[in-house]
Amino acid sequence: MIFPRKDIGGKRRFVPSWFDTYGWLEYSVKLDAAFCFICYLFKNKTAKGGNSFVNGGFRLWNHTSKFDKHAACKPHRLAQEKFDSFSITGTSIANTLVKRTTEEKVMYKARLSYSLKCLRFLFRQGLACRGHDESEESLNK
C-alpha cells in the first residue's frame, strides 16, 4: 500500500517498515495518522503521557524519534504489561486476581512477622518502641 503525502509540501508520509519496528503501531488511512494499539486498549485513562498516539493520532512523520520516546514512556510500559498478561493463553481474570492476592498475602505475612520479631527483640531488651526521650519538652515520655 502506498501511503498518502498529506503534509505541507507533500514530502513526508507514513513508512510501512515502521510496522516491523514497532509492533504496537496502527495506521488510520482515513485520518492519515498513527496510533498505539496497546495504549488505546489498555492505557490508564488518568495517566499522563503518550496521548498523541491515542487521542488524535500521530502525524509528524519527520519526528520518528517520538516512536521510541512513546515506547519508553511509563504509561505505555504499564499498558504493555496489561496487554502481555491479557494475551497469555490460559490466563483469566480470576486466575490473575488469585495470583495477585496470594502474592499480597505472602508479602503481608512477611511484613507482619518482621514487625513481630522487632517487637520481640525490643521487649526482651527492655527497650522502648518509640524512642527514649523523657525530657521536659518531650510529648512522648
Partners of 35 in beta bridges: 26
One-letter amino acid for residue 98 of the chain: V
What's the rounded Cα separation, in Å, for the pair 115 and 97? 27
Q: In this predicted structure, what is the pLDDT of residue 88?
A: 73
The pLDDT tens digits of the residues spanning 83-131 come to 887 777 666 667 666 776 777 888 888 999 998 998 899 888 888 776 6
User: What contacts 35, CB < 8 A, 6 or more positions away?
Assistant: 25, 26, 27, 28, 53, 54, 57, 58
Is the pLDDT at 132 greater than 60? The verdict is: yes
Beta strands in 3-120 (DSSP E): 25-28, 33-36
* Nine-digit cell string for 22: 514497532
Mean pLDDT of the chain: 79
Task: Give 117's contacts (C-beta < 8 A, 6+ positions apart).
Answer: none
Among residues of the chain, what percentage have pLDDT more than 70? 75
